[in-house]
Amino acid sequence: MGGAGRPGLGAAARRGGGPVPVIVALSGGIGGAKLALGLSKVLPPEELLVVANTGDDFEHVGLTICPDIDTLTYTLAGLDNPVLGWGRADESWAFMETLAALGGEDWFRLGDRDLALHVLRTHRLRGGEPLSAITDDLRRRLGIGARILPMSDDPVRTRLRGDAGWIDFQDWFVRQRATPAVRAIEFAGAAAARPQPGVLAALRAGPRAVVICPSNPFISIEPILAVPGMREAIAVCGAPVVAVSPIIAGQAVKGPTAKMFSELGMEPSAAAVAARYGALLDGYVMEEGDDATGIAPHVFRTRTLMQTLDDKVALARAVLAAAEALR
């Protein structure tokens, strides 16, 4: 399923019997997951590798929580909660209510079903399994055909400097509701992190395209690119690199992207996102009417707002067509 009507990329490689060139999609949480879902609907499972940001990961009440991996996993499994924008649709909150009653921290909400994933992952991580192996096992158990891999099996933690000093990402994003102005960003642990070997292998094997999903560049995509060797591996992989703008008419569809641009002294615009990625980009997919002045890579215009599944599929097709046009 999903193969009919998709662009014909990769057909030659399959005919030749060699490894299938894949689409490598770099993604954060909700916005990226929408396009990843669209890609998963138009590509055979073995032709899609989603690389998840783990800079948002954190330790909470003794559990290792990986919000972007989880959003991708739940979204691709059809279990996501579109109302909340995180967690599972079929959720209950008995654990959370009781935790609060017992004096536990309750600013980060963990549903009863969601919790099973966190408990199991934390237990397996403590037992020495790499995050990638656990992530891969869980997506298989949830019936997801496409691969989802963390950018690295080593911990990277995004930290933000506000006017009151450095704070952890989830503290800022959830506990403080992304309210404090952000003056600087760092990815703690990134310098010592190694790219996840499966991601590196896919890039070295010659992918069909690298897609940068419409995620927040500062906190979703740049942590991935900050893993030493990742940016270089993408730059030399020989495939077109196509980003999708997360900014439409100067606004982010969801989340603090536009706000962060302003606080960091930049105008929130599709062009500003393209500028962040710089020479890495070969193509840039952006909203029909937005200003493309000064954008260096080849611009492709389409509807980028993803409200329905059809929107996601249509954008996925447009991105793949853009990549094909750039080959």
Least distance (Å) from its own copies to the CB of residue 136?
A: 12
User: Which stretch, 37-45, 138-146, 257-265, 314-322, contacts its own copies (CB under 8 A)?
Assistant: 138-146
In this structure, what token pair is assigned to residue 75? Answer: 């979204």
CB nearer to its own copies: pick between 96 and 182: 96
Q: Cα(275)–Cα(268) distance, rounded to whole angstroms?
A: 11
CB neighbour list of residue 59: distance below 8 Å, 6 or more residues apart: 65
Tell me if 141 contacts its own copies by CB under 8 A. Answer: yes
* CB nearer its own copies, residue 117 or residue 146: 117
Q: How far is CA 28 from the centre of its chain?
A: 2
**1 vs 101, which CB is nearer to its own copies?**
101
What is the rounded end-to-end Cα distance, in angstroms, of the chain?
25
Binding positions for its own copies, 25-54, rule CB under 8 A: none
Query: Within the chain, where are the H helices?
Result: 11-16, 30-42, 67-76, 94-101, 112-126, 131-141, 169-170, 197-204, 222-225, 230-235, 257-263, 270-277, 309-326
Q: What is the token pair recorded at 27? A: 């993604």
Question: Is 20 an interacting residue with respect to its own copies (CB under 8 A)?
Answer: no
- Structure tokens that stand for 104 in this block: 């536990």
Which residue of 11, 19, 84, 126 would you call a contact of its own copies, by CB under 8 A? 126
Question: Shortest Cβ distance from residue 90 to its own copies (Å)?
Answer: 8
Stretch that binds its own copies, among 1-9, 121-129, 161-169, 261-269 (CB under 8 A): 121-129
Sorted by sequence, the CB contacts under 8 Å of residue 260 that are 6+ apart come out as 182, 216, 218, 219
Q: How far is the CB of 77 from its own copies (least distance, A)?
A: 11
Residue 62 makes contact with its own copies by CB under 8 A: yes
Instruction: Using the minimum distance from each CB to its own copies, give the nearer residue, 92 or 251.
Output: 92
* 168 is a site residue for its own copies (CB under 8 A): no
Residues 80-119 interacting with its own copies (rule: CB under 8 A): 91-92, 94-99, 101-104, 111-113, 115-117, 119
- Sign of the four-CA dihedral 200, 202, 208, 211: negative
Select from 63, 182, 258, 274 the one that contacts its own copies (CB under 8 A). Answer: 63
Neighbouring residues of 193: CB distance < 8 A, sequence distance ≥ 6: 151, 152, 154, 155, 156, 227, 228
**Least separation, in Å, of the C-beta of 126 and its own copies?**
6
Q: How far is the CB of 110 from its own copies (least distance, A)?
A: 9
Under the binding rule (CB under 8 A), the answer on residue 164 touching its own copies is no
Rg (CA), the chain: 19
**Residues 224, 26: contact at Cβ < 8 Å?**
yes
- Using the rule CB under 8 A, give the single segment among 48-56, 58-66, 177-185, 215-223 that binds its own copies: 58-66
Nearer to its own copies, 139 or 157 (CB): 139
Count of alpha carbons within 13 angstroms of residue 285, beta-carbon side: 29
| Helix pair 67-76, 30-42: axis angle to 10 deg | 40
Site residues (CB under 8 A) for its own copies, limited to 218-277: none
Q: Which residues bind its own copies (CB under 8 A)?
A: 61-63, 91-92, 94-99, 101-104, 111-113, 115-117, 119-120, 122-123, 126, 137-138, 141-142
